[in-house]
Amino acid sequence: MSAQIQTTSFAAVPQLDLVAQYAAIGEEVRAAVDKVLASQQFILGREGAALETEIAQLCGVAHGVGVASGTDALILGLRACGVEAGDEVIIPPFTFVATGSAVNAIGAKPRFADIRRDTYNLDPSDLARRVTPKTKAIIAVHLYGLSADMDPILKFARSHNLRVIEDNAQAVGASYKGRPTGSMGDLACLSFYPTKNLGAYGDAGMIVTNSAEMADRLRTLRNHGQTGKYVSSEPGWNSRLDEIQAAILRVKLRHLLEWQRARQKHAATYSKLLLGIPGIATPLVPENYHHVFHQYTIRLEQRDALQQALHTRNIGNSVYYPVPLHLQPLYTALGHKPGDFPNAEHAANDVISLPMYPELRSEQIARVAEVIAEFVKK
Ligand SMILES: Cc1ncc(COP(=O)(O)O)c(C=O)c1O
């Protein structure tokens, strides 16, 4: 998702500055990696097990199962939920493509339900018209760091006997009416892609769940379906979160809360400075939601022109996501056309994410807001 993101300080205001983060925690990280190197235990060792416990705690559930990426977490999570080839899974069309391609990876079919225009998350009132006898599960994505409206989604799922998977790739640490994201569905999938709020130094992911049965199955699935040494009970996969990544993530986890507070403070500063600029909609944080601002995303009609103006002034920015899933070439065979999911299409045309990372300085935020104000005045 993030190949074009500027992750260094070269830009006047980069979109993300992982170099600044490493400058602050490098020593701790190197010590943790050294420990793993000294142990020469690289797969399924102590660090991974400790991280699983710590992330499960953060998400308010009993079990964590480390895997090789957020995409693998979705694929294996769907399997643990009993989704099979030929089944349908309801997903929002406004998300990173992995939410959909994970469904395809097991031979199932995505069925899209539109998002809400104001939160960019699944619209619970659109679920009823999308469900069919083949529907087995719903994937609720917590986009940009804000929880989806889980109560009506869970209620709908219960009444239709569907499983709920939370795609919590972007919202680790967020909460909804006092419940952590990751604790509400049958299971939840996390990504530790380097640019995430809790990012590894490579690919990594995790599934969290309260179900001991699902956790056991997932431990088997991520390790070639092995239930004993060299005994496999079903077709599995090689998808394990390695010890070096786990050790790095454990260091970063110690800082997550402080980083989260910094992100929230920056978001409040942006929203204060952008308030009242005509045509700009700042992120909505519904009451009782705790947004962790993986992205600070605004929307405006002249989005492409603003993007150009920001680029010209060397201010990092990105559009997540310019093409909704139902209009992706990948899904041509599903036969959708423009207008089928109007809120997702509006979002794809209007949104732009501004620089956001804990080390962002207030003068940098002021500069971004100033450029936006100037742009709107013209
Ligand atoms: C919403 C969402 N789902 C799934 C993924 C897939 O995670 P990964 O890149 O770790 O495979 C990502 C991140 O890239 C994401 O943002």
For 293-330, write each residue's pLDDT tens digit.
999 999 999 999 999 999 999 999 999 999 999 999 99
**Residue type for 76, please?**
L
**Cα(190) to centroid of ligand 1, in Å?**
8
Model confidence at 215, in pLDDT bands (50, 70, 90)? very high
Closest Cα to residue 110, out of 325, 337, 346, 347? 325
Mean per-residue pLDDT for 348-366?
Answer: 97
Q: For residues 100 and 81, give the distance between their C-alpha atoms in angstroms, rounded to a whole number.
A: 16
CA dihedral 125, 126, 129, 135 (to 10 degrees): -100
For 13-22, write each residue's pLDDT tens digit.
999 999 999 9
Supply the angle between the helices 98-105 and 70-80 in degrees, to the nearest 10: 50
Of 222-236, 278-292, 320-334, the range with the lowest mean pLDDT is: 222-236
CATH 3.90.1150.10 location in the chain? 255-377
Mean per-residue pLDDT for 141-157?
Answer: 98
Report the mean per-residue pLDDT for the chain.
Answer: 96
Q: Return the structure tokens found at 248.
A: 């790095």
Q: For residues 194 and 8, give the distance between their C-alpha atoms in angstroms, rounded to a whole number.
A: 13
Mean per-residue pLDDT for 351-373?
Answer: 97
The CB of 320 under 6 Å from ligand 1? The reply is: no
Residue 325 contacts residue 93 (beta carbons within 8 Å): yes
Mean per-residue pLDDT for 81-101?
Answer: 98
DSSP 8-state secondary structure symbol assigned to residue 186: S
The CB of 96 under 6 Å from ligand 1? The reply is: yes
**Residue type for 265, please?**
K
Q: Given ligand 1 and candidates 191, 249, 319, which is best to mutate, with the most ligand atoms within 8 Å of its CB?
A: 191
The CB of 141 under 6 Å from ligand 1? The reply is: yes
The CB of 59 under 6 Å from ligand 1? The reply is: no
Closest Cα to residue 273, out of 305, 302, 296? 296
Q: Given ligand 1 and candidates 193, 241, 292, which is best to mutate, with the most ligand atoms within 8 Å of its CB?
A: 193
Residue 113 pLDDT > 90? yes
Its CATH class, for the domain covering 22-253, is alpha beta
Mean per-residue pLDDT for 76-103?
Answer: 98
Q: In what helix (H) or strand (E) does residue 27 lie, and over which residues does it extend?
A: helix 18-39
Beta-bridge partners for 63: 209
The protein residue whose alpha carbon is closest to atom 8 in ligand 1 is: 70
**Residue type for 334, please?**
L
The protein residue whose alpha carbon is closest to atom 14 in ligand 1 is: 1
Question: Given this model, what pLDDT does residue 7 score?
Answer: 55
Q: In what helix (H) or strand (E) does residue 309 lie, and over which residues does it extend?
A: helix 303-312
Q: For residues 300 and 263, give the distance between their C-alpha atoms in angstroms, rounded to a whole number.
A: 22
What lies within 8 Å, CB to CB, of 155 at 6+ separation is none
**Cα(141) to centroid of ligand 1, in Å?**
10
**Residue type for 172, please?**
V
Q: For residues 94 and 347, give the distance between their C-alpha atoms in angstroms, rounded to a whole number.
A: 8
**Cα(321) to centroid of ligand 1, in Å?**
13
**Cα(363) to centroid of ligand 1, in Å?**
31
Question: Given this model, what pLDDT does residue 3 score?
Answer: 43
The CB of 77 under 6 Å from ligand 1? The reply is: no
The protein residue whose alpha carbon is closest to atom 7 in ligand 1 is: 70
CATH 3.40.640.10 location in the chain? 22-253
Looking at 1.10.10.10, 3.30.70.260, 3.30.1360.120, 3.90.1150.10, the CATH number of the domain 255-377 comes to 3.90.1150.10
Question: Given this model, what pLDDT does residue 9 score?
Answer: 53
